[in-house]
Amino acid sequence: MLNFELYNPTNLVFGKGQIEKLSVLVPFGSKILLAYGGGSIFKNGIYVQVKTALSGFEIVEFGGIEPNPHFETLMKAVAVIKEQNIDFILAVGGGSVIDGVKFLSAAVHYDGDPIEILQKRILFKDVSKVVPFGSVLTLPATGSEMNSGAVVTIAATQEKLTLGGSALFPKFSICDPSVIASLPKRQLQNGVVDAYTHVLEQYLTYPHDGYLQDRIAESILQTLIQVGPNVVENPTDYALASNFMWSCTMALNGLIQKGVPSDWATHMIGHELTALYGIDHARTLAIIGPNLYRVMFETKKGKLAQYGKRIFNLTGTEDEIALEAINKTVEFFHTMGMQTKLSECAKDFEKTADFIVNRFEERGWIAMGEKQNITLEKVKSIVEMSY
């Protein structure tokens, strides 16, 4: 097992009726920026619950944070925070809103042009230099409610870039599974596949000595397979909703990645498809992931075979099991309503591989994956196979 440090200071408050605890979770006397997305919180009653819980606090609202939050929009919120002397930010939404708030937290006191936070992948480790924030999760998927990473889109250049650091964990996150009852099927489908692929990024590498991490990862995958299709059809079922939400959090709260190798190339390539074509994040992962496993088959087949045996109960030779495990993954994605070819989701895609390779080369991203053996040539093959 590799050396590791596990640090996660987020106070996760899980269950029905927990939004009412906001009044004691937010520091007394705070002036709050209430950040949200497209306005669904007004339709599902969450806005009223939040405002009721925070009666007595001074609140400034900022709405309109996009799915895949835009740098340009977030900079408007940074200006509001500075003008209004905000000292606490509350994200009410899914991963995009929480990611956007992480950027706000970092950008307000950043000494320099905030676009550098994304372009230079700056890590924030000093909590005294960020604005504290918490979250009320409304859409399980990304795990952003219990981690310190975020992804932000620069619309002007069609780039989707990351930020993070130990100072960017939420102070608290309220996770009430009952809030998913009003979500559209597409968002629920996306959430299941996003969480599933988060686990695969940390699991489908090569056999190692992190036995417990493997078993935890496999249990999350099995739970998502068990509840995923059903929660889409029955989001009011609390058993399904709670296991779905907790699985999404556990998939990316740092636990299963400690002491083991991880990949993340599927996400790096997938982010480009979202930036170029506006394809839902989870759907880009369903397009790219299986083809990455095919192109990198020789270096991943040991772990693919373990995955096939333990998750899908497959039998045969190592190569047979590993190949069929990829097919079973695609089947599951189809069951979850995913399309797994770029041609099904975008037009004029023929030059996509060359564009992504050139962009990665400009950024110096020339070796990716758990063994740093996903070269630009491999990236091109992965994307072309995904057409």
CB 209 within 8 A of CB 306: no
Please state, for a pLDDT cut of 90, what percent of the chain lies above it.
Answer: 97
First to last CA, the chain: 38
Report residue 139's pLDDT band, with 50, 70 and 90 as the boundaries: very high
Please state, for a pLDDT cut of 70, what percent of the chain lies above it.
Answer: 100
Predicted confidence at residue 39, as pLDDT, reads 82
Give per-residue burial for 279-302: e unless 16+ CB within 10 Å, then b.
Answer: bbbbbbbbbbbbbbbbbbeeebbe
Predicted confidence at residue 40, as pLDDT, reads 87
CB 326 within 8 A of CB 294: yes
Q: How far apart are CA 239 and CA 231, in angstroms?
A: 9
Report residue 247's pLDDT band, with 50, 70 and 90 as the boundaries: very high
Nearest to 238 by CA among 314, 284, 230: 230
Pairing status of strand 159-163 against strand 88-94: unpaired
Helix (H) or strand (E) holding 22: helix 22-25
Burial class (CB in 10 A: 0-12, 13-18, 19+), 98: buried
Nearest to 232 by CA among 179, 183, 176, 177: 183
Distance of CA 341 to the CA centre of its chain: 21
Locate 324 and state its tokens. 């069929």
Looking at every residue in the chain, the average pLDDT score rounds to 96
- At 174, the amino acid letter reads I
* Average pLDDT of the residues in 345-364: 94
Instruction: Give Cβ neighbours of residue 351 (< 8 Å, ≥ 6 apart).
Output: none
- The model's pLDDT over 295-349, given as tens digits with 9 standing for 90+, comes to 999 999 999 999 999 999 999 999 999 999 999 999 999 999 999 999 999 998 9
Predicted confidence at residue 181, as pLDDT, reads 93
pLDDT higher than 90, residue 43: no
- The model's pLDDT over 60-89, given as tens digits with 9 standing for 90+, comes to 999 999 999 999 999 999 999 999 999 999
- The model's pLDDT over 186-238, given as tens digits with 9 standing for 90+, comes to 999 999 999 999 999 999 999 999 999 999 999 999 999 999 999 999 999 99
- The structure tokens 């995923």 sit at 228
Distance of CA 17 to the CA centre of its chain: 25
Neighbours of 14 (CB within 10 A): 15
Which residues are paired to 174 by β-bridges? 13, 136
CB 58 within 8 A of CB 31: yes
Which residues are paired to 89 by β-bridges? 33, 133
Predicted confidence at residue 195, as pLDDT, reads 97
Predicted confidence at residue 381, as pLDDT, reads 97
Locate 240 and state its tokens. 């399904």
Helix (H) or strand (E) holding 91: strand 88-94
Locate 255 and state its tokens. 């636990």
- The model's pLDDT over 152-195, given as tens digits with 9 standing for 90+, comes to 999 999 999 999 999 999 999 999 999 999 999 999 999 999 99
Which residues are paired to 173 by β-bridges? 12, 135
